[in-house]
Amino acid sequence: MKRVFGLLGALALALLPVLIARPALSGEIKVGLMCPLTGKWASEGQDMKNIVSLLVDETNARGGINGDTVRLVVEDDAGDPRTAALAAQKLASAGVVAVIGTYGSAVTEASQNILDESGLVQIGTG
């Protein structure tokens, strides 16, 4: 399970330079992570957060993306569709360029329209 999250997280970060079609203004690229940090899938969500945080740290240690630092913005969706919709709205308002997650099809469905309407790419993990 952790290997799958690691591969998905690596893929997501590898795709970010392709997804980012904006000039570097602040020197920082915000990436959203939606995952269940509480609720019945909290263990999987903690794994997701730890793995993606590690990948962000490794990316920044290598100079970031095109010289910009990557900052992870994490929202807990609690594995619940209603909470996921709120988390998606928060991430869309936070100025992220893409969102990694979430975990579970019902939770992903609850967030995908919000992220799509905001013009954000969502890379689902499960």
Confidence of residue 50 (pLDDT cuts 50, 70, 90): very high
Handedness of CA 96, 100, 101, 107 (dihedral sign): positive
Does residue 48 form part of some domain? Answer: yes
Q: What is the band of 27 on the pLDDT scale with cuts at 50, 70, 90?
A: confident
**What does each C-alpha distance from 3 to 48, 90, 118 come to in angstroms?**
10, 28, 30
Contacts of 110 (CB under 8 A, 6+ apart): 81, 82, 84, 85, 88
3-state secondary structure of 67: coil
What number is the average pLDDT over the span 4-10? 52
Confidence of residue 13 (pLDDT cuts 50, 70, 90): low
Domain containing residue 73? 28-123
Q: pTM for the full model?
A: 0.80
Please report the pLDDT score of residue 102 as a whole number: 84
Residue 14 has pLDDT above 90, yes or no: no
In a domain, 8, yes or no: no
Number of domains the chain contains: 1
